[in-house]
Structure 1
Amino acid sequence: MTRVEEQLTIGCTAEAFLGFVMDVERYAEVDDKLRTVFWVRRDGDLTEFAFRPALPGVPFPQPKAVARMRLTPGERIDIRLAPLPLNKVNHRMARFAACFTCDPVDGGVRVTRMIEFRFRPGPGRLLAPLLRRTLPGSVARELRLAKEILERGDSGT
């Protein structure tokens, strides 16, 4: 298993931060793990999107994936891969889970970003040591860039 958790305080409301994340195409500007976004469908608090993942430090392209984000308004977003048959290759390689949580603090929200891969037996497990080294920097950069955008009032939402 590879799990990364990073925190950062951002000078905005939980609603502003979570709204920024739910705008997948806009959020892809700060998240280098979302290489190409092919389509996005939003229905209330559920967003489904197809994208080409880019795992930090992995030099070869990843298979197209479909993810689902579920918003708990004012609190969190939980992200998983959509079920089969949408992610046949990805489900064979690893289980993926991620979330964003927001806790109010003086001057804004403390955002916690968690990403977890549980690799199944096989060649995908070779990625675990690489991701343990490269994923923390990618997640920290993602939060830092989101903070810059939201604190200058340029969330696009």
Structure 2
Amino acid sequence: MVEVTVEEFVACSPEAFLALVMDPRRYAEVDRKLGRIDWVHSEGDVTEFRFRSALPGLGPGPKVVSRMTLTPGRRVDVRLPDRPENRLVRRVSTFEAYFECVPVDGGIRVRRRIAFGFAAPLRRLVEPVLRRRLRADVEAEVRGAKRLLER
């Protein structure tokens, strides 16, 4: 498994940061792992969207559906739901991620965690590349969100 956790101070409210995350089309401006977005469906605190995935150093991947669940003012959990579109990806890999916001003086401390695991046939090929490239990608993503919100 390849896991990366990044923390960053952002001068905004938890609600502003989490609203950005819950808007996949807008968040795609700062996250290179989100390729072309086909559709977005939101209902209450849950947003699902289908997009072309792209992992750093590995190029474009398959289209997947991601589900984001908001805990208002605190965090967004991201998973690949059990849907037909995700059948192949869920068979060969695991994915989990979250964004957590903790209020601090003048803004928030954002914690972004993302983790990928792969089945044995892919593990030796994919995980070494992700170990080298994922941290820098996630750091750039969080810095991009910070710049977008602090303008």
Aligning the two structures, in what range does the TM-score lie when normalised by the shorter sequence? Answer: over 0.9
What is the match of residue 155 of structure 1?
Answer: none
Query: Across the two proteins, how many residue pairs are aligned to each other?
Result: 151
- What is aligned with 2:107? 108
Q: TM-score, normalised by structure 2?
A: 0.97
Q: Do the aligned residues in 1 keep the contact of 2:63 with 2:85 (CA within 8 Å)?
A: no
* SS at structure 2 position matched to 1:78: strand
| Larger strand proportion of the pair | 2
Matched to 1:26, the amino acid is R
Please give the per-residue CA displacement for 1:77-103, whole angstroms capped at 9, x wherever unaligned: 000002132201111121100000001
Percentage of matched positions with identical amino acids: 52
- In structure 2, what is the Cα distance between the partners aligned to 1:35 and 1:85? 19
The TM-score, its normalising length taken from structure 1, stands at 0.93
Question: What CA deviation, in whole Å up to 9, does each residue of 1:111-140 have, x standing for no partner?
Answer: 000000121221254211110110101100
Q: Distance in 2 between matches of 1:148 and 1:68?
A: 25
In structure 1, the partner of 2:12 is 12
121-130 or 139-148, which deviates more: 121-130
1:92 & 1:117 partners in 2: Cα distance? 13
Q: Is the 8 A contact 1:99 1:114 kept in 2?
A: yes
**Separation in 2 of the partners of 1:80 and 1:56?**
19
Does the 8 A contact of 1:53 with 1:63 survive in 2? yes
> What CA distance in whole angstroms lies between the structure 1 residues aligned with 2:11 and 2:93?
35
- What RMSD over aligned residues (CA atoms) do the two structures have, in Å? 1.0
Partner of 2:84: 85
Q: How does 1:141-156 map to 2 (within 5 A)?
A: 141-152=140-151
**Where in structure 1 do 4 or more consecutive aligned residues deviate above 4 Å?**
none
Partner SS, residue 74 of structure 1: coil
